[in-house]
Amino acid sequence: MLYQDISGVPDFECEEFNSRQRDYVVLIPIINEGNRILNELKRAQAANVSAVADIVICDGGSTDGSTEKGVLVSLDINTLLVKKSAGKQGAQLRMGFWWALKRGYKGIITIDGNDKDSIEDVPHFIEKLEEGFDLVQGSRFVKGGVAINTPLSRLVAVRLLHAPVISMTARQWFTDTTNAYRAYSTRYLQDARVAPFRDVFNTYELLAYLSVRATQLKYRACEIPVTRAYPKNEKTPTKISPFKGNWLLLKILFRNLVGAYNP
C-alpha cells in the first residue's frame, strides 16, 4: 500500500506480513545494511523478541537484497516500510512513527540496523515504558552497560561534548546521547508541543530533539544499560561521514540547544 501526501511524513510503501500482534513495536531504520541487518534479525529471533514486540523495518531504499520478503518473513518481521521520497534517518523515523501511531501501539522502540546494539534488551525498554517512563535511553556507559571496541574519537565526542550539551538542553543528565537505541511512549510522541511530524527532521535532527523535549515538558525519562559493540579490525559501520557528517551533527547539537526545533 502506498501512503503519500501526508503532512510531515515522507511518501512510503507499506507491506504488512502480519497484523498488529503486540502492544509495542521495534522500528529499525536501514539502508543497504546487508548481512549486518540480517545478523541482527537472527539475534532478535533467537531471543524471541517478536514475542513482546512487533518488528518493523523502516527502509530508506535498500538495493542489496536484504529486504527480500521471504527472508524478512522467515525472520519474524511484521512489516516492511519503504520510503519513497527525500530524506535520511529522520524521514525514515517519521515514516515509522506515523505508521506505528496509526496502528495503535502503546510505545515505540528504535534501534539501528547495523548489528552494533543488543537487540536482546528490547524487553527491558518495554518494562520501563510499562512503569510510566516516556523516554527510555539505552546507554553503554551506565552501570551494567557494555561498550566494546568503541572508537576513541566517538568516545571522546560523546562523553565530552555531545552528552554534556544534550544534558544541559534536556535539564537532565544523559550519558549516551548519540545512541539511537531508545523507547518512546505514545503520549510523548502525540503531544502537540512535541510535533515530530515536520520536514525539518530530515537527517539526525529528530534524535537530538526527542532526546531533550521529553524532560523539557516534564515527561519522565531514564537510561537503561545496553551493549554497543563495534567490530574489531573492521571499518566502523556508520552512515555518518568523518567530516561532513560530524559537522552536521555539531550544527544540529547547537541548534537544538537554542530551541531551533521547538514547534
Domain containing 12 equals: 2-257
Whole-angstrom Cα distance, residue 211 to residue 120? 22
Residue 263 lies in a domain: no
Q: Is the pLDDT of residue 167 over 60?
A: yes
On the 0-12 / 13-18 / 19+ scale of CB atoms within 10 A, 243 is exposed
pLDDT digits (tens, 9 = 90+) for 101-112: 999 999 999 999
Q: Is the pLDDT of residue 234 over 90?
A: no
Q: What is the pLDDT of residue 237?
A: 52
Residue 143 lies in a domain: yes
Residue 242 lies in a domain: yes
Q: How far is CA 65 from CA 38, 54, 72, 187, in A?
A: 10, 22, 11, 36
Residue 262 lies in a domain: no
Q: What is the pLDDT of residue 243?
A: 46
For strand 24-30 and strand 107-110, is the pairing parallel, antiparallel, or unpaired?
Answer: parallel
Rounded percentage of the chain residues whose pLDDT exceeds 90? 89
Nearest to 2 by CA among 111, 83, 115, 106: 83
Q: What is the pLDDT of residue 169?
A: 97
CATH number at 45 reads 3.90.550.10
Residue 149 lies in a domain: yes
Residue 58 lies in a domain: yes
Global pTM reads 0.94
Q: Which three cell numbers stand for residue 51?
A: 514475542
Q: What is the pLDDT of residue 157?
A: 84
Residue 101 lies in a domain: yes
Cell numbers 500482534 correspond to: 21
Using 50, 70 and 90 to split pLDDT, how confident is the model at 245? low
Count of structural domains within the chain: 1
Mean pLDDT for all residues in the chain: 94
Residue 203 lies in a domain: yes
Q: Is the pLDDT of residue 84 over 50?
A: yes
Higher-pLDDT residue of 190 and 161 is: 190
Q: Which three cell numbers stand for residue 68?
A: 527480500
